[in-house]
Amino acid sequence: MNDISSLTLPELQAQMLAQGEKKFVASQIYQWLHKSHVASFDEMTNISKVLREKLKKNYDICTCAIEKKLVSVYDETVKYLYRLHDGELIESVVMHYKYGHTICVSSQVGCKMGCTFCASGFAGFVRNLLPGEILAQIYTAERDLGITISHIVMMGVGEPLDNFEHVLRFLQLVSDENGKHLSMRNISLSTCGVVPGIYRLLQEHLQLTLSVSLHAPNDEIRQKTMPVAKRYSIDELLKACRDYTEQTHRRISFEYAMIAGVNDSDENALELSRRLRGMLCHVNLIPVNAVKERDYVKSSAARMQAFIAILEKHHINVTVRRTLGSDINASCGQLRRGETH
């Protein structure tokens, strides 16, 4: 697959010039791809027929075919099951907030990370997504729903920092002023804690929000639920997070799925408060979502309140994430590479 939608405008210009075409043709093609979101060369009506045929021979356009679409009766959250060019399946979710439409995109087909509470990795890992395939999730949803998406969360299937190059290129393309031109400030990228990836990201000095899936206050608990914790200790991870906030001045968001009897005691809250003391951060508590292969139970409302009270007493910013799309298995940790309904 030689995906034309993964190319930046300067790259496309260079390739067109090298093929004996005029430079402005690259801008026209780029507009069709990134402003009009066409899915075929035939739709590029201001490009000559001859050139369209040549493009068809030399390039492909990443597309997401809508295999299935589910709409939540509670909150109109939409979950798409998309089929990629090679038949692989991924999921994306569109959520409607007062401030705009947000899409949760996948970065890989499957996931290698193996977090025990997350359905995304249960069927294993297949491959990385191309930059154009991450974009296509957005463009397809926008076209299908007739909306403009204003916010992106990289919190779907996959570990974005395990597909670093493609994710970075996706970020460049989606924020490009000649394309969708979405502000980096409206993008969140979530990682399970791939420490070298955090340092690589730091060097890019992007204005996006980094979310870190922490889910435990210490190595002992974290290693039981998140295999990545055996590779990078919580000390190493939190050091990387501190370095990140100090150099980017961007607040980190820590995700913490509350699992009854696993990570939700007063002692756990105290330890978490101690660890995060003084850091430019925010804790997002998520009552753990059900996945059918596991019997994790979410913490009770009273337990959550007690946990929150301890964090607040220690001056840690904390919020509880609202659960959307629960009737269509579209919540955190419920996305998969296959179909489950």
Residue number with CB closer to ligand SAH (132 or 333): 333
Q: 286, 316, 324, 330: which one contacts ligand SAH (CB under 6 A)?
A: 286
Q: Is 11 a catalytic residue?
A: no
Dihedral, 194, 200, 204, 207 alpha carbons, nearest 10:
20
User: Which one, of 141, 72, 138, lies nearest residue 107 by Cα?
Assistant: 138
Distances (CA, A) of 49 to 22, 34, 53, 63: 15, 20, 6, 22
Indicate the SS3 state at residue 209: strand
> Given 62, 64, 241, 332, which residue is catalytic?
332
Q: 21, 75, 91, 255: which one contacts ligand SAH (CB under 6 A)?
A: 255
Note whether 75 binds ligand SAH by CB under 6 A.
no
Sequence letter at residue 27: S
Note whether 221 binds ligand SAH by CB under 6 A.
no
Note whether 283 binds ligand SAH by CB under 6 A.
no
Q: 5, 213, 248, 299: which one contacts ligand SAH (CB under 6 A)?
A: 213
User: Which one, of 100, 210, 104, lies nearest residue 149 by Cα?
Assistant: 100
User: Which one, of 239, 278, 234, lies nearest residue 256 by Cα?
Assistant: 234
Dihedrals phi, psi of 40, to nearest 5 degrees = -150, 155
**How many chain residues are in contact with ligand SAH, going by CB under 6 A?**
19
Sequence letter at residue 155: M
Residue number with CB closer to ligand SAH (9 or 291): 291
Note whether 216 binds ligand SAH by CB under 6 A.
no
Which residues have a Cβ under 8 Å from the Cβ of 315 and sit 6 or more positions away? none
Q: 136, 149, 288, 324: which one contacts ligand SAH (CB under 6 A)?
A: 288
Least separation in angstroms between residue 14's CB and ligand SAH is 33
Note whether 289 binds ligand SAH by CB under 6 A.
yes
Least separation in angstroms between residue 153's CB and ligand SAH is 8
Q: Is 91 a catalytic residue?
A: yes
Applying the rule CB under 6 A, the residues between 164 and 203 that interact with ligand SAH are: 190-192
Burial of 83 (0-12, 13-18, 19+ CB in 10 A): middle
Residue 253, number of CB atoms within 10 A of its CB: 20
Strands 318-320 and 281-287, sheet pairing: parallel
Note whether 117 binds ligand SAH by CB under 6 A.
yes
Calpha distance 324→317 (Å, rounded): 22
Residue number with CB closer to ligand SAH (7 or 201): 201
Active centre residues (catalytic): 91, 332
Which spans of this chain sit near ligand SAH (rule: CB under 6 A)?
113, 115, 117-118, 155, 159, 190-192, 213, 215, 255, 257, 286, 288-289, 291, 332-333
